[in-house]
Amino acid sequence: MQLKRVVVTGLGALTPIGNNIEEYWNALVNGVSGAAPITYFDAAKFKTRFACELKDFTVTDFINRKDARKMDKFAQDAMVASDEAIADSSLDLEKINKFRVGVIWGAGIGGLETFQNEAINFGAGDGTPRFNPFFIPKMIADIAPGNISIKNGFMGPNYTTVSACASSANAMIDALNYIRLGTCDIVVTGGSEAAVAIAGVGGFNAMHALSTRNESPETASRPFDSERDGFVLGEGAGAIILEEYEHAKARGAKIYAEVIGGGMSSDAYHMTAPHPEGIGVIAVMKNCLENAGIKPEDVDHINTHGTSTPLGDVAELKAISKVFGDHAKNININSTKSMTGHLLGAAGAIESIAAILAMKHSIVPPTINHVHVDENINPDLNLTLNTPQKRDIKVAMSNTFGFGGHNAVSYTHLTLPTICSV
């Protein structure tokens, strides 16, 4: 069977450093930090009192109040980002076969704040079960693609992938494969997360996963720096329209890139810690290279998982050196989490978008906040520290790894321009 080619024809982003694609890209190349003191709740007693929240965003500017009240923030964010991506793709919703349009979304948690608030309200009562009738549909992780399909009439495959921080990368790989195999012409994919809430910050604090650099939030997310002390929690959504190449060409679509492959693996090691030798990460990158049909020396750029955690950053870079050998030093490596924070289940989506835009503009956004050299990191690697670098990129790669040992990697190639893989 001849696999179909898959291209990117639309992008949408709602992030802590920009509420649309243009704002997001401008902030990336200018090295803008999205971290600031938490405004959503009183965090005075929390170990971490800052996060990468959305800014200057009012959901009712995009969704009417009645409908917005029926959605958790993660679903609201999904609707806003997917609307932008669909508009960017110039799809004529009256002409396409909606039975062949799927929505495959990623969310690591789903409606965390909704669950939190319902539990708080019940606990404050006398035991009488008074729950919002929309409690369950607001909370469940699959409701985001459900709402996207309901609004647009898309009747192809519709579901959410849940694999912690690898969720949206897994969603994009599934979307890639459904189109490759001829099941769909178009898939709206990506991911969203809204965990900047009491339960989210408190839960990750209890694990000692978050940075506690409260005196300087804007510098707290510092991947690869020796003084990194944990990730910074972010929120938002990224949406990507994947489309079968001939279908896109026939309608004269704008093509950003071609998605040429994706890889998956499991560490099978620990609930939260990466394998110290990065064996699962090595496996997923090798799987992706094989799936894409390319050689290590073909890769120009890697947007790493790069969470700014003491263990994770070192393990990932060791794995890159192992997979790419001498070529590793020729690759522009970066971590855009230094600016956006960690969007959990949405990370793979917004970082794949960053890689696609890096190809489009021939600029690699920087890894900001790097001050102190980590002696455990290979000094020959180009980590694109603090300043963007001009680079013609033909093949870009995006890495995402999640709690539970979930690993997912995609490649985007710029031949059509180049396709991005997950």
Categorize the per-residue pLDDT at 288 as very low, low, confident or very high, splitting at 50, 70 and 90: very high
Residue 327 a catalytic site member: no
User: Which of 418 and 156 is assigned the larger pLDDT?
Assistant: 156
User: Percentage of the chain surpassing pLDDT 90?
Assistant: 91
Break the chain into its structural domains and give their ranges: 7-250, 262-421
More confident residue, 36 or 405: 36
Contact 12, 238 (CB under 8 A): yes
Asked whether the predicted pLDDT for residue 408 surpasses 80, the reply is yes
Q: For residues 382-397, give the mean pLDDT.
A: 97
Measured at the CA of 287, the angle between CA 190 and CA 304, to 5 degrees, comes to 55
pLDDT class of 274 with cuts at 50, 70, 90: confident
In this prediction, residue 1 carries a pLDDT of: 80
From the list 247, 275, 301, 305, the catalytic residue is 305
Mean pLDDT of the chain: 95
275 pLDDT tier (thresholds 50, 70, 90): confident
CA distance 101 to 157: 7
Q: What is the mean pLDDT of residues 111-125?
A: 97
Which tens digit of pLDDT belongs to each residue from 38-67? 999 999 999 999 999 999 999 999 999 999
pLDDT at 421 over 60: no
Closest CA to 421 of 288, 281, 306, 307: 288
Distances (CA, A) of 144 to 103, 175, 193, 194, 300: 9, 16, 10, 12, 34
Locus of tokens 């890889």: 263
Instruction: Give the model's pLDDT for residue 413.
Output: 61
Q: Rounded to the nearest 5 degrees, what angle is found at the Cα of 108, between the Cα atoms of 105 and 111? A: 90
Measured torsion, CA atoms of residues 90, 168, 219, 361, in degrees rounded to the nearest 10: -40
Mean pLDDT of 387-397: 96
Give me the pLDDT at residue 410, please.
Answer: 66
> Tell me: the pLDDT tens digits for 220-233?
999 999 999 999 99
Cα distances (Å, whole numbers) of residue 92 to 89, 215, 216, 253: 9, 50, 47, 11
Instruction: Check 247, 275, 342, 370 and give the catalytic one.
Output: 342
Q: Tens of pLDDT along 255-267? A: 999 999 999 999 8
* Superfamily (CATH) of domain 7-250: Thiolase/Chalcone synthase (3.40.47.10)
Q: Residue 416's pLDDT is what?
A: 46
Question: Would you state the pLDDT for residue 43?
Answer: 98
Same fold: 7-250 with 262-421: yes
Q: Are 222 and 228 in contact (CB under 8 A)?
A: yes
Give me the mean pLDDT over the 208-225 stretch.
98
Distance separating alpha carbons of residues 31 and 170, to the nearest angstrom: 28
List residues bridging with 240 in a β-sheet: 11, 189
The pLDDT value recorded for residue 278 is 82
Cα–Cα distance list, 185 to 99, 155, 242, 344, 349 (Å): 9, 12, 8, 28, 20
pLDDT, one tens digit per residue, over 336-376 is 999 999 999 999 999 999 999 999 999 999 999 999 999 99
Least trusted range by pLDDT, from 113-122, 272-281, 306-315: 272-281
Predicted confidence (pLDDT) per residue in 176-209, tens digit:
999 999 999 999 999 999 999 999 999 999 999 9
Residue 411: predicted pLDDT: 57
Task: Kindly tell me if the per-residue pLDDT of 419 is higher than 80.
Answer: no
CATH topology of domain 262-421: Peroxisomal Thiolase; Chain A, domain 1 (3.40.47)
DSSP 279-333: HHHHHHHHHHHHHHT--GGG--EEE------HHHHHHHHHHHHHHHGGGGGGSEE
The whole-number pLDDT of residue 22 equals: 98
165 is catalytic: yes
pLDDT confidence bin for 272, thresholds 50/70/90: confident
How far is Cα 48 from Cα 311, in angstroms, rounded to an integer? Answer: 19
Give the model's pLDDT for residue 422: 39
Whether residue 312 contacts residue 235, with contact meaning beta carbons closer than 8 Å, is answered with no
